[in-house]
Amino acid sequence: MTDYIESLQVLAEKFASLQGVGKKSAMRMAFSVLELDEDSAKEFADAIVEAKTKIHRCPICGNLTDKDECYVCSDLSRDTSVICVVEDVKALMSIEKVREYKGVYHVLHGAISPVNGVTPDKLTMKELIERVGQNEISEVIIATNPTQSGEVTAMYISKYLKPLGVKVTRLAYGIPVGSDLEYADEITLGRAIEGRRDV
Amino acid sequence: MTDYIESLQVLAEKFASLQGVGKKSAMRMAFSVLELDEDSAKEFADAIVEAKTKIHRCPICGNLTDKDECYVCSDLSRDTSVICVVEDVKALMSIEKVREYKGVYHVLHGAISPVNGVTPDKLTMKELIERVGQNEISEVIIATNPTQSGEVTAMYISKYLKPLGVKVTRLAYGIPVGSDLEYADEITLGRAIEGRRDV
């Protein structure tokens, strides 16, 4: 079949090497590349090399950037005394979309999961503890994912930061806004009851 | 947000320019590129340029190839007196997967659809008629899609080929094997009754 069109097969394999791209989609995308004009295909190729070469971790917070510092750290209007700790850049982007948070971030690049070989030293945990120890930090908001490894990570962070005298908080768990109680799982519902507030 | 990481945004737009790739998937893929090592990213970029530069239509049948002729046309064991007419290369690949068809192909690169500006001259219709006229062809199997434009195209082809004295056939319509009559639509079911055979 397509094995006979070797360069198409090679391209499809490259697409399939990306996270979450199956073989069928990869082949569809490879075909789609053939439908681009020559210049667009060249630009696509250049964009891959450029992104890979230019983008690196922000030396302050670990966010991705193609500048010296990321756009959050270089934004003078942000409150650098509040650090929100996230597992990855996608989480950071989700919080930024809300446009409510005015502090800065710390990206761990993962969550503790010994089973998968992710120990604290594989994350930017040391950098976080140093950063909190060396700067005037009023609050650290832990925004790791509400999963088992996210929880373990949150507990680990708070264990190391609390002795430094910094206020450590965790994002609230509860029923998602606009959803129906009927469809909430028991754990979420349990947390929602536990975290109930006066009205 | 990501607009601040310009090279990531540019890359995501390239992915989104491919058929069937939405904005969210495009961004996920762009992130995934960052996780490749530098060599793999370079290879990915090269694969795009290589596929785009090397792959062209087979001068005989219109199939895609990176050789002079496509692998079907250059396979001497194939029966060149039987031509299967398909709308696109994906259809050709589907038929090849069955490993039952031993003839050759003709790829139209579309189906007649005047509303979308696809008139017969936009397809490889002239090439097909010439090919049938100039060679010893015993049968032309029309395997255009079972859609309105596929049907129009099939009718158009048979109108031009029958006067050349060649046998023109169409793939059978009917209930898909392994499916349930209950879920067959009326048109398919109607065609299945119409095309019933002795057992």
DSSP 8-class letter at A180: -
Q: At what angle do helices A6-16 and A23-34 cross, to 10 degrees?
A: 130
Residues in chain A with CB shorter than 8 Å from the CB of B11 are: 47-48, 50-51
What's the pTM value of the predicted model, to 2 decimals? 0.76
pLDDT tens readout for residues B40-88? 999 999 999 999 999 999 999 999 999 999 999 999 999 999 999 999 9
- Asked if B4 has any chain A CB less than 8 Å from its own CB, the reply is yes
3-state SS, residue B132: helix
Complex ipTM value? 0.77
A5 with B52: Cβ contact below 8 A? no
For the stretch B31-39, contacts whose Cβ atoms lie closer than 8 Å and that sit 24 or more positions apart, written own/partner, are: B31/A19, B31/A89, B31/A90, B32/A18, B32/A19, B32/A20, B32/A21, B33/A18, B33/A48, B33/A51, B33/A52, B34/A51, B34/A52, B34/A55, B34/A64, B34/B8, B35/A19, B36/A17, B36/A52, B38/A52, B38/A53
Q: Please calculate the CA angle B177-B181-B184 and round it to the nearest 5 degrees.
A: 85
Q: Which of A52-66, A121-135, B85-99 has the lowest mean pLDDT?
A: B85-99
Tell me which residue of A175, A168, A122, A124 sits closest to A146, measured CA to CA: A175
**Whether A185 contacts chain B with CB within 8 A:** no
Mean pLDDT of A183-193: 82
Residue B123's pLDDT is 97
Q: How far is B159 from chain A (nearest CA, A)?
A: 31
**How far A196 CA lies from chain B's nearest CA (Å)?**
32
Average pLDDT value over all residues in chain A: 91
The pLDDT value recorded for residue A25 is: 93
Choose the closest CB to A41 out of B5, B25, B49: B49
State what percent of residues in chain A have pLDDT above 90. Answer: 75
Residue B18 reports pLDDT greater than 90: yes
pLDDT tens track for A79-91: 999 999 999 998 9
Distance CA B132, CA B140 (A): 8
- Which chain B positions have a beta carbon within 8 Å of A91's beta carbon? none
B10–A64 CB contact, under 8 Å: no
A100 class by beta-carbon count within 10 Å (0-12 exposed, 13-18 middle, 19+ buried): exposed
Q: Contact B33/A48, CB-based, under 8 Å?
A: yes
In order of start, what are the domains of chain B with their CATH numbers?
2-54 (1.10.8.420), 77-194 (3.40.1360.10)
